[in-house]
Chains A and B, each alone.
Chain A
């Protein structure tokens, strides 16, 4: 199973070996101790079973994208990993330091931007840490701004800074760019990737955008009806190389989703994304 983590040798491009396609819902083995581990996880609300018998492990520093339709249980799973829902009697391991970026930035409107970032930081140099984090996301000039004066993209960048200033082992992103326009979203992809490379948290990002998933993920986990129905590991490096594997991957993901995700010209977002990278 180590093969899953190493790029396989290139063979016939028709059977692209850089993609290890496995439809088995079994959790892939990971070499190091995983930061997240769920075994046979089930979540019910009354008689409604949202997630049943789910196994998931995330390695340290791994970028996992959870893809699925509305109502597939993505957000429920993310809330569990965020520690927002109770998990009594379940085999769930999550790291102590976590941070979440939600679709709506959820900044406290009565605190200036830097105080939002520093919220809950116990260390004495909270202001300095917040400043550094805001500079990292390119908002060093808006420290004293009120959150309600920020644009949607700026608010999401503040939310990212607020998450990363805690140096979390696990960064959870709940459709963080769904409300942004296409261009801003591409910029945010760049930003998330560069922050991830610098800080190396394990990332679990929820999205319903197949192209976003392909552009960002180490591994794509497809959730449907509360079960993992497919997983794709992408070992092609992000950028132009990934654009070449995007089309078949995209087709497979859409097939697995039952074609219910909106169809777009193949590779459009991926190509844009690749072009934007140096």
Chain B
């Protein structure tokens, strides 16, 4: 086998190749003038802008603002979701009281509430955080509630036969058993929160990633828009990686992880 065919074969199975080719085509298109800058900035220019914005602190400052909004919204939303799921999952009366409300909430698209939230909370930080919180309740609620209800009754019975109190059953059996479901819900909530952030920050924001994008649109700075899109993607990846890291620590007992 010649070096050339070996190279061709390894390139044939390289998943990074096609994205790189796309970038190369874009770059060539921009340099040759086929793609005007106001349509799409050249990849090299996007990188340069990213560097410049990072050095000047423009990107990091706005990212920090967005990040705080996500953290605050998620903290409220996830906590509310967990509490509601525990109430509905652990008691019959709780289920009757909470679950219908949550199902009604599920049918309302969160973003459709934006006008109402602006009327209620104005155009400051509150409606943005409230939207993120509101959107991130449901994934956590639904998954944790399902996880609690899906606990293997034989395990519960086994614990009961050893004389464990109800509180001890909840602590030793129900909560650890529902943890995997909670983490799945958390993962959904994280990605939903980034999605809502994008929209929420277009409400008359003076800082944040959405503000950067809006501003860039007004000045037709496609390079800045692309930088912000990249940051959104990285945020999503980071959120997923965070939950994965938590999972691999919290769920070490799972056979797929145990056998590694």
Contact = CB atoms under 8 A, between A and B. Distances in A.
A15 interface: no
A38 B176 CA distance: 37
Interface of A: 82-84, 97-100, 102, 104, 106, 108-111, 119-120, 146-149, 162, 166, 172
Contacts of A82: 161
Interface string B95-107: 0000000000000
A258 B190 CA distance: 63
B218 to A, nearest CB: 53
Contacts of A104: 154
A119 B160 contact: no
Interface stretch (B32-40, B42-50, B86-94, B248-256): B248-256
Contact of A120 (B163, B179, B259): B163
Contact of B173 (A108, A147, A166): A108
Given A109-B253, A148-B253, A120 B168 contact: yes
Contacts of B162: 99-100, 119-120, 162, 166
Nearest to A174: B161
B252 A146 contact: yes
B221 to A, nearest CB: 51
A146 B176 CA distance: 14
The 5 A-B pairs of least Cβ separation, nearest first, read: A106-B158, A100-B161, A110-B176, A146-B253, A120-B164
A108 B172 contact: yes
B108 interface: no
B253 to A, nearest CB: 5
Interface in B75-124: none
Interface of B: 154-155, 157-164, 168, 172-173, 176-177, 179, 251-255, 258-259
B164 to A, nearest CB: 5
Contact of A106 (B155, B179, B254, B259): B155
Contact of B164 (A102, A119, A146): A119
A88 B160 CA distance: 18
B154 A106 contact: yes
Nearest to A162: B162
B161 A84 contact: yes
Which of B158, B159, B179, B259 gathers the greatest number of chain A CB atoms within 10 Å? B158
A153 B177 CA distance: 24
A167 B157 CA distance: 19
A166 B163 CA distance: 10
Given A102-B154, A148-B258, A149-B258, A108 B176 contact: yes
Contacts of A102: 154, 158
A120 B172 CA distance: 9
A83 B159 contact: no
A157 B82 CA distance: 37
Contacts of A99: 161-162
30 contacts: A82-B161, A83-B161, A84-B157, A84-B160, A84-B161, A97-B163, A98-B163, A99-B161, A99-B162, A100-B158, A100-B161, A102-B158, A106-B154, A106-B157, A108-B155, A108-B173, A110-B176, A110-B179, A110-B253, A111-B176, A111-B253, A119-B172, A120-B159, A120-B163, A120-B172, A146-B252, A148-B253, A148-B258, A149-B255, A162-B162
